[in-house]
Structure 1
Amino acid sequence: MTETPGATDKGKLTRRKVVVAGGAAVAAVGVGGAAAVNAFAGERGADSPGTASEACYTLTSETTEGPYYIDADKIRQDITEDEQGIPTTLRLRVIDAESCRPLKNAAVDIWHCTALGVYSGYESMGNGGGGGGPAPTGVPSGSPTGEPPTGEPPSGGPTGGPGGGGGGHAEPTDDERYLRGTWKTDRHGYVTFRTVFPGWYQGRCVHIHVKVHVDGEWTSAGYEGGHTCHTGQLFFSEESVLASAEVAPYSTNTRTRTTLDEDTIYPDNGHAGGLLYLKYDRRNIARGVHAHLTMGVTPDETHDSTDTPPSASASASAG
């Protein structure tokens, strides 16, 4: 799907400077994170891989930045703050799609909505309902009604652009920054975040936005310079979303849900398209979710959004 690129340069990292919001933010580790890690010890959901990690990966699909990106200003691993939801640990590995070598010291941004479909920084835009009315009598079905977005906000949905889709960048409406954060990859290319399982809003399936920045410098003030080499989204299986919908506060989300198959942003190519591997107790997902994925990127290229397609040379699996 062709998306309209953002109307500003907020996604670019050239000469960008990130300010650390206090020393405590750098060392923050989620309260719910430990519970999530313990929850999946010895347990495996239907979405988890059955074998060890493969030797190499294809290029991860680029997708739209969406209207709700805010240039990173929270250098932290725990992005939960006081948001309620299923404890989720997200572990990503970033590698060069051509050489398969890990990218160390890259800056990884993630951001996503709350269990009720609201983005921090854009609270006044709401989610078109999201628990504001009476609780539903049942969980969302696997075949919800309603049409996927076509470039315009769905009726009654978020204003200022389609939720998480295209339509250009929307200016923040407030100073809240929960469920947003940036952290650096280690020497093996890994980065880990503590958060909560995202919710949904009309027109989009459940997802997490992600950006990878390289060639910048980590300083006492944060991350400076460099460029964005990947802009994408991470997706969750239908089974996991339906399980989450039985747990409060997700069970109070009254908005029409778009399934993974109906979503017009998901590239429908499995893990190469951002579909996460998941581990959780299928009998009790509320105990916590562990999500992971290896992302193949092109560090020498700039991809602020889908306006710059990935190079063909990196489209095939190396080695």
Structure 2
Amino acid sequence: MGRHHADEVHDGGVHEHDRGLSYDLPVLARRRMIRLMAGASLVPLVGCTSQDGTPASSSASSAKGSASSSASSAECATIPDETAGPFPGDGSNGVNVLKESGVVRSDITSSFGDSAGGTAEGVPLTVTLTVVDAASGCGTPKEGAAVYIWHCDRAGDYSLYSEGVTDENWLRGVQEADGSGQVTFRSIFPGCYAGRWPHIHFEVYSSLADATAATSITSTSQLAFPKDVCDTVYATAGYDESVRNLSSLSLETDGIFSDGYGRQLAAMKGSTAEGYTATLTVPV
């Protein structure tokens, strides 16, 4: 088993990393109500997806999507808001890594600064997020926006917080969007811990200055991974516990993605030998 705190598992065995439905449901309920109200009076809340609500270029297992995400590709809405979880590292839960020198980087596999200096092991993963302006129909890139991403390691632990890696700050970093609205990070494929579907957290800021000051967040969301890719990655060495954890989960029952994941499901390419690439368009 990977390392887990005694206080990280609550009733029903749900992992503390995202605190489960008891923590997130009130927040999600409010967000859903806002979306419904906005949809009734303003514009349809639909994503930049294919007709079935999934990314057009995603893997075969991505073909499923929630009906609530279904729409024509001509329509656009902001990326769904999600909880940042208890381990954001943006200062909202104690630890603040965003103000540390070195956090602006493309390779987030290793720790930086005064941290322990270790490197997270796992199947290589390159993540590219394209930040676009939802108000313009997703056609205008948000050049100069900044994105902070973070995720757990192969064992399901979060740097700065989880036992054994509190001195590390790996798998966290900030990038400024280029002229195409893109940010790219080199990382490793995250593990699957009890109670949550494999995912990556991210926050979007209007500028790099806002991100490194940990202020004025534009959007907080999560990227999900297709099941077939997770199965393939977790069959490799070091991901043993992820196999068991994933077997009791699905995107449809996950506490975060169960209300619709079409706009958050990454399009994947690659292999365990060469590494994977994950891409996602992020309208804000």
Q: TM > 0.5 between the two?
A: yes
Cα separation, partners in 2 of 1:70 and 1:216, compared to 1, 3 Å:
same
* Corresponding residue to 1:105 among 129, 144, 166: 144
Q: Which residue of 1 aligns with 2:268?
A: 278
- Cα deviation 1:74-130 (Å, max 9, x = unaligned): 111100111111100100100111113211111101000011101001122x7xxxx
SS of corresponding position for 1:210: strand
In the alignment, is residue 199 of structure 1 matched against residue 206 of structure 2? no
Offset, 1:268: 4.4
- Cα deviation 1:248-289 (Å, max 9, x = unaligned): 1113547533232221111443432x11111124xxx34211
Higher relative contact order (Cα pairs below 8 Å, separated by 6+ residues)? 1
SS of corresponding position for 1:93: strand
Matches within 5 A, 1:90-169: 90-99=127-136, 100=138, 101-124=140-163
Q: How many residues were matched structurally? A: 201
Q: Which residue of 1 aligns with 2:282?
A: 295
RMSD: 2.7
Q: Distance in 1 between matches of 2:194 and 2:171?
A: 19
Is the 2:159–2:168 Cα contact (8 Å) retained in structure 1? Answer: yes
Cα separation, partners in 2 of 1:226 and 1:64, compared to 1, 3 Å:
closer
Is the 1:210–1:231 Cα contact (8 Å) retained in structure 2? Answer: yes
Cα separation, partners in 2 of 1:216 and 1:199, compared to 1, 3 Å:
closer
Q: Which residue of 2 aligns with 1:244?
A: 233
SS of corresponding position for 1:217: helix
Unaligned runs of 5+ in 2: 1-20, 28-57, 64-72, 91-97, 111-118
Offset, 1:57: 3.7
Identity over aligned pairs, percent:
36
More helix by share: 2
Cα separation, partners in 2 of 1:253 and 1:224, compared to 1, 3 Å:
closer
* Corresponding residue to 2:124 among 68, 87, 102: 87
- Cα deviation 1:49-96 (Å, max 9, x = unaligned): 9xxxx7774321111110000022411110011111110010010011
Q: Which residue of 2 aligns with 1:269?
A: 260
User: TM-score under structure 1 normalisation?
Assistant: 0.57
SS of corresponding position for 1:70: coil
Is the 1:57–1:295 Cα contact (8 Å) retained in structure 2? Answer: no
Unaligned runs of 5+ in 1: 6-43, 127-172, 298-319
User: TM-score under structure 2 normalisation?
Assistant: 0.63
Q: Distance in 2 between matches of 1:184 and 1:123?
A: 28
Is the 1:48–1:278 Cα contact (8 Å) retained in structure 2? Answer: no
